[in-house]
C-alpha cells in the first residue's frame, strides 16, 4: 500500500525535517499497511501508544457487535449485555464491533444449559470465568512489561511495533490452547474437591489444610530496592512458591503482597508444603514464617473462607522467623510419622474467643 506521507504530515503525524524522520516514516508505513487510519494514528500518538497500535486494534476490534450476537443467536440484547457484565467485559456501545462472531457459541450454550442449572449458578460460573481470565490477562501483561518491554527501547520504532504485535499474537494463539489445558486443570480440581469432601458432612464445605507463609522483614528488605531489583525479587518469590506448592500436590491460592496462601486436601501434604516453603526461602533477603490449620472451609471462586482460614493466617502472624505454627487439628490428622509437633502452648488469637492450642511443626528425626 502506498503511504501518503503528505497526508500524515498534514495530520501532524510526520515531520520530514525531524531527526528521526526516517524511523517515523517507517513506523507509520507499517501501521498503515496493517490497516490503521489517520484518526487511529492520531489518537494513539497522542496517548503515547503509537508503537502498540497494530496489536491494540487486534484486541480492541472484532467482527460483531453485541446487537449482532443478540440477533444471530435469538438472545435478548439485555441478556447479552448482562452476560458480558458478569464476565467483566464492558460493553459501552452495543452497536460497536468489538466482539467476535465465534462468541455467539457462548449464548447457544447458555440457552441449552441455563434452564437445567440451579438458580444463580450461571451467574456464579460467569463471574468465576471473568475473574480467572482477568488474572491470566493481568499476569501476562505484567510479565511482558517486566521482562521484555525494556529491551524494546533498544530497537527502532518499527521493530518495537512488529515485536509487540508478534508477541501479542503469540499470546492470543496460546489462548486457543486454554481449551485442552483446561481439561487437565479441571480434572485436578475435581480430584482435589473429592478428596476434600471425603470427610465432610456438608456439600457446601470441604475439609482441607490451609497455610500461609510470609516473608518477615519484607518491607525493610525491599525499601532500598529499585523497581528492577524489586521485580526480580518478587519473580523469584513467586516462582519458588508455585514450584514448591504444586510439587507437593497442593494449590497456590493467591499472593497477598509478600505472603502466599496455599491449600491441600491432605493435611500431611500441607505440612510438607509449609516446611518446604520455609526451606526454599531460607536464603531469601527476608526470612519466612508460616501458619497451618486443618478443618472445614467454604470454597468459592477459587478462594477459601471460614474460621480455619483465619486461624492459619493468625498463626502465621505470631510465628517467629523460620517457624511454622499449626493448630492441634493438624497434628491429630497427620499423626506420627515424618513430622514432629512440639507443643507451643495455648495462644489467644485475634478473632477467636478461646485460647487455641498450638504446635510448632518440624521434620521428625527418622
Q: What is the pLDDT of residues 144-168, one digit of tens each?
A: 666 655 555 666 788 878 877 877 7
Q: What is the pLDDT of residues 275-318, one digit of tens each?
A: 999 998 877 666 789 999 999 998 887 889 999 999 999 999 99
* 46 burial type by CB count under 10 A (0-12 exposed, 13-18 middle, 19+ buried): exposed
Ranges of each domain in the chain: 5-60, 66-184, 201-363
Instruction: Classify domain 201-363 at the CATH topology level.
Output: Alpha-Beta Plaits (3.30.70)
The CA distance from 16 to 20, in Å, is 9
The CA distance from 184 to 190, in Å, is 10
How many beta carbons lie within 10 A of that of residue 107, not counting itself? Answer: 20
183 φ, ψ to 5°?
-55, -45
326 against 1, higher pLDDT: 326
Residue 347, SS3 per DSSP: strand
For the entire predicted model, the pTM comes to: 0.69
The CA distance from 39 to 344, in Å, is 69
Residue 177, SS3 per DSSP: coil
Q: What is the pLDDT of residues 15-44, one digit of tens each?
A: 999 998 998 888 898 898 888 889 999 999
364 φ, ψ to 5°?
-75, 145
Amino acid at each position: 500500500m502506498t503511504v501518503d506521507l503528505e497526508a500524515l504530515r498534514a495530520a501532524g503525524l510526520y515531520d520530514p525535517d525531524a531527526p528521526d524522520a526516517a524511523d517515523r516514516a517507517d513506523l507509520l508505513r507499517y501501521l498503515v499497511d496493517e490497516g490503521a487510519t489517520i484518526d487511529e494514528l492520531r489518537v494513539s500518538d497522542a496517548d503515547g501508544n503509537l508503537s502498540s497500535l497494530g496489536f491494540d486494534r487486534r484486541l480492541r476490534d472484532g467482527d460483531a457487535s453485541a446487537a449482532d450476537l443478540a440477533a444471530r443467536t435469538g438472545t435478548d440484547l439485555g441478556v447479552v449485555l448482562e452476560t458480558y457484565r458478569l464476565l467483566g467485559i464492558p460493553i459501552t456501545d452495543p452497536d460497536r464491533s468489538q466482539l467476535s462472531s465465534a462468541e455467539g457459541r457462548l449464548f447457544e450454550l447458555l440457552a441449552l444449559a441455563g434452564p437445567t442449572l440451579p438458580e444463580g449458578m450461571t451467574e456464579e460460573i460467569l463471574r468465576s470465568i471473568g475473574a480467572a481470565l482477568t488474572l491470566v490477562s493481568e499476569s501476562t501483561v505484567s510479565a511482558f512489561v517486566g521482562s521484555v518491554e525494556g529491551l524494546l527501547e533498544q530497537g527502532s520504532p518499527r521493530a518495537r511495533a512488529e515485536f509487540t504485535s508478534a508477541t501479542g499474537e503469540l499470546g492470543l494463539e496460546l489462548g486457543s490452547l486454554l481449551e485442552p489445558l483446561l481439561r487437565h486443570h479441571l480434572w485436578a480440581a475435581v480430584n482435589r474437591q473429592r478428596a476434600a469432601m471425603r470427610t465432610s458432612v456438608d456439600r457446601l464445605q470441604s475439609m482441607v489444610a490451609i497455610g500461609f507463609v510470609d516473608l518477615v522483614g519484607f518491607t525493610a528488605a525491599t525499601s532500598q530496592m529499585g523497581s528492577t531489583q524489586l521485580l526480580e525479587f518478587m519473580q523469584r518469590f513467586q516462582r519458588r512458591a508455585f514450584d514448591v506448592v504444586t510439587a507437593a500436590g497442593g494449590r497456590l491460592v493467591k499472593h497477598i503482597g509478600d505472603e502466599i496462601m496455599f491449600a491441600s486436601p491432605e493435611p500431611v501434604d500441607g505440612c510438607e508444603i509449609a516446611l518446604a516453603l520455609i526451606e526454599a526461602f531460607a536464603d531469601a533477603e527476608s526470612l519466612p514464617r508460616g501458619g497451618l490449620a486443618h478443618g472445614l472451609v467454604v470454597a468459592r471462586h477459587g478462594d477459601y473462607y471460614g474460621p480455619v482460614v483465619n486461624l492459619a493466617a493468625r498463626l502465621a502472624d505470631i510465628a517467629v522467623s523460620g517457624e511454622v505454627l499449626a493448630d492441634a487439628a493438624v497434628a491429630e490428622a497427620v499423626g506420627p510419622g515424618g513430622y514432629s509437633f512440639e507443643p507451643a502452648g495455648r495462644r489467644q488469637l485475634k478473632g477467636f474467643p478461646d485460647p487455641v492450642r498450638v504446635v510448632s511443626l518440624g521434620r521428625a528425626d527418622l
